[in-house]
Amino acid sequence: MTEDLEFEGIKESVSIIPLGGLGEFGLNIMVYETENDLIVIDTGFMLPSSDMPGVDLIFPDIHYLVERQEKIRGILLTHGHEDHIGALAYVLRQLDVPVYGTQLTLAIATGRLREYGVLGKAQLNTIAPGDTVELGDFTAEFIHVTHSIPDSVAIALRTPVGVIVHTGDFKFDMTPVDGKLSDVQTLARLGSEGVQLLVSDSTNAERLGQTPSERSIYGAIDNIFQKTEQKLFLCTFSSSLHRIQQFIELANIHRRLVAVAGRSLINNVRTASELGYLDLNPDYLIDARDASQFRPHEVMVLTTGSQGEPRSALALMALDNHPFLKVEPGDTVVMSARIIPGNEKAIGNVVNHLLRRGAKIYHERNADVHVSGHGASEDLKLMLNLLQPKFFMPMHGEYQNLMRHAELAESVGIPSENIKVAEDGELIHLTPETCEVFGREGRSGRVLVDGKPELELEDIVLRDRIQLSEDGILIPVIILHSDTSHSTVNDQQNGVVADETSVTVTGSTESQEPTTDNASKTGLNPGQIEIISRGFVYMDKSEELIEEAKEITRRVISNLSDEQKHETEIVQDEIRGALRRFFSKQMQRTPLIFPVVMRV
């Protein structure tokens, strides 16, 4: 749908376009747009799944924003988790727009902005819960909510069609670690004034009841401290600062020194401590390089790697590859984080290696060492009842989470026709009376990154990597000889017969009968053919198959005209196509085939 059609005949309207975060976990980025102005809420990334070899990060495709950058009035951040701010540097490399976030959120984002070289151009504006900001047709009000990281906010947007509330990530924690409750009063006030649309977190929509307080794990972790007689490794997300605060408190109580491992964790602990979000006595903090100098029962190590990331500190320790930290028999490892769907195998590998090191392992499936930062069904219903929106749209989560949240909304009295389940790239058109969902039309997508953000991977590269991992690669190397009739006569006179159809397979040469075809006396003719296989077949046990493949290759070349033989791409395409058909028929497998053509 074009921009003209989006606003045709309707001056009082808002378009909502999710560029990520609806139908998946992570990649959260939402666009709110009027005829004149546009704002963006959150710019998150997503980690790749195991079927994306060589991909480091996934960013949202922001072509929609680049094409409308003159309308963008600001990027608003709800909190400091990477799935909400991790793509900010990538976005600001392409857009010169102001950014609004709380003190801690911007402080965490600053490190990534500096790393990617965009901190100098970033327009960072610090806000606090309760503040309002005028952004063209939008007025944004920031509302404190509890989550697993301090300084989290929901955002109420006053628009030409009424109030839109975007919750961000939240739960209703009655005993938060920092003592700051969700601002229920402001939420209730907005509900009494009238909310046109609620856009709300669906991550835990399928979980019954209410999500326990962050403080609920304190007793279980305390018990582990008491039982552990050697080193204690506590692993969590680097931005789970409420969790980290509890670990530090318990380390002080049990008289253990605190060592921090993992770059992102070190940066976040330093930043949060400097800003007063973490109470960390520097006398209890030691350099992780010095941990081995203390007795095992005197040390607690905070580390990253709860999702089995291969280059994380915990994964390196599990393989005994960490430069200065070792997990030894009798040590205890606590993995205090949710097992994100898709990461089970990677996490399992790390756990297996830690067990081989002789460690005792605790995780969410065998101990109460993790609690979610997202509201379960009763939290979500409470938010719905407080705000009493006219229209409702679930966000954040896979499609099943969105659908379950829609059912919860209907259960508290929102008419089913006023509940809109959308996915990435779809257009949600909101007016004072209606809320409708339209098709995607290419508004969203994903950018796959290999290493640095500027190293974007095309889809075809990823497909090739997947095919390589499944079917391997085959490289036919073909040498085309020019017309050698004169030299052949001379050779015959000297008692030497030239063999123009000899075929070499991985170094071995097999002679064929000299051809008498007239075509062999002119133009380019097939000489040596070498076939190299990697990850496809074992050459020594596939001689017949390779013999047939080389014969097909020779036949393809012989059937080409002299003009075609002089066009390298034509020769390669013909060989590739013939061999693909052959291997697909013979083996039901199709390796990547890269013919190499040389002329002599």
Residue 343 lies in a domain: yes
Side-chain half-sphere exposure of 546, counting CA atoms within 13 A: 25
Identify the H or E element spanning 307: none
Closest C-alpha to 595, from 585, 455, 560, 587: 560
Phi, psi of 499 (to 5 degrees): -110, 100
Residue 57 lies in a domain: yes
Which residues, listed in sequence order, are joined to residue 17 by a DSSP beta bridge?
31
Instruction: Please check whether residues 421 and 534 belong to one and the same domain.
Output: no
Closest C-alpha to 154, from 110, 202, 107, 186: 186
* Among candidate residues 312, 335, 362, the one where a domain is terminated: 362
Instruction: Please check whether residues 289 and 143 belong to one and the same domain.
Output: no
Sign of CA dihedral 80, 86, 91, 93: positive
Instruction: Please check whether residues 314 and 234 belong to one and the same domain.
Output: yes
Q: At what angle do helices 218-227 and 241-253 cross, to 10 degrees?
A: 40
User: Which tokens belong to 26?
Assistant: 């992570």
- CATH code for the domain in which residue 515 is found: 3.10.20.580
Residue 137 lies in a domain: yes
Residues 132 and 120: their CA atoms lie apart, in Å, by 26
Exposed, middle or buried: residue 398 (CB in 10 Å: 0-12, 13-18, 19+)?
middle
Buried b (16+ CB within 10 A) or exposed e, 433-453: eebeeeeeeebbbbbbbbeeb
What pLDDT score was predicted for residue 53? Answer: 52
Q: Are 49 and 27 in contact, with CB atoms under 8 Å apart?
A: no
Instruction: Please check whether residues 476 and 454 belong to one and the same domain.
Output: no
Q: Are 372 and 204 in contact, with CB atoms under 8 Å apart?
A: yes
What pLDDT score was predicted for residue 507? Answer: 35
What pLDDT score was predicted for residue 584? Answer: 82
Catalytic annotation present for 201: yes
Count of residues for the chain? Answer: 600
Domain count, the chain: 3
Q: Are 282 and 251 in contact, with CB atoms under 8 Å apart?
A: no
Residues 374 and 364: their CA atoms lie apart, in Å, by 15
Instruction: Please check whether residues 146 and 171 belong to one and the same domain.
Output: yes
Q: Out of 81, 363, 374, 405, which one is annotated catalytic?
A: 374
Residues 101 and 94: their CA atoms lie apart, in Å, by 19
* Residue 351 domain boundaries: 214-362
What pLDDT score was predicted for residue 554? Answer: 87
Residue 1 lies in a domain: no
What SS3 state is found at 541?
A: helix
Q: Out of 42, 61, 137, 201, which one is annotated catalytic?
A: 201
What pLDDT score was predicted for residue 501? Answer: 32
Instruction: Please check whether residues 162 and 190 belong to one and the same domain.
Output: yes
* Among candidate residues 460, 485, 519, the one where a domain is terminated: 460
Which residues, listed in sequence order, are joined to residue 201 by a DSSP beta bridge?
395
* Among candidate residues 317, 340, 362, the one where a domain is terminated: 362
Instruction: Please check whether residues 240 and 144 belong to one and the same domain.
Output: no
Q: Are 46 and 58 in contact, with CB atoms under 8 Å apart?
A: yes
Instruction: Please check whether residues 106 and 224 belong to one and the same domain.
Output: no
Biggest distance spanned by C-alpha atoms of the chain: 106
Instruction: Please check whether residues 277 and 409 belong to one and the same domain.
Output: no
Catalytic annotation present for 84: no
Residue 467 lies in a domain: no
Three-state secondary structure along 156-211?
Answer: EEEECCEEEEECCCCECCCCCCCCCCCCHHHHHHHHHHCCCEEEEECCCCCCCCCC
Instruction: Please check whether residues 170 and 30 belong to one and the same domain.
Output: yes
Residue 320 lies in a domain: yes
What pLDDT score was predicted for residue 58? Answer: 86
Sheet holding 132-135, edge to edge: 132-135, 138-144, 153-159, 162-166, 197-201, 391-395
Residue 9 lies in a domain: no
Instruction: Please check whether residues 396 and 487 belong to one and the same domain.
Output: no
What pLDDT score was predicted for residue 515? Answer: 40
- CATH code for the domain in which residue 333 is found: 3.40.50.10710
User: Which tokens belong to 437?
Assistant: 């969902």
Q: Divide the 600 residues of the chain into consecutive groups of 10 and give the mean pLDDT of each group.
A: 45 91 94 97 84 71 94 98 94 96 96 89 96 98 97 98 98 95 98 98 97 96 96 94 96 96 92 93 92 95 90 92 94 92 85 96 94 97 98 96 98 97 96 92 75 49 54 82 47 35 34 39 62 74 82 87 82 87 80 81
User: Which tokens belong to 157?
Assistant: 């947007």
Beta strands (DSSP E) in 88-131 are 98-101, 123-126
Residue 192 lies in a domain: yes
Instruction: Please check whether residues 223 and 197 belong to one and the same domain.
Output: no
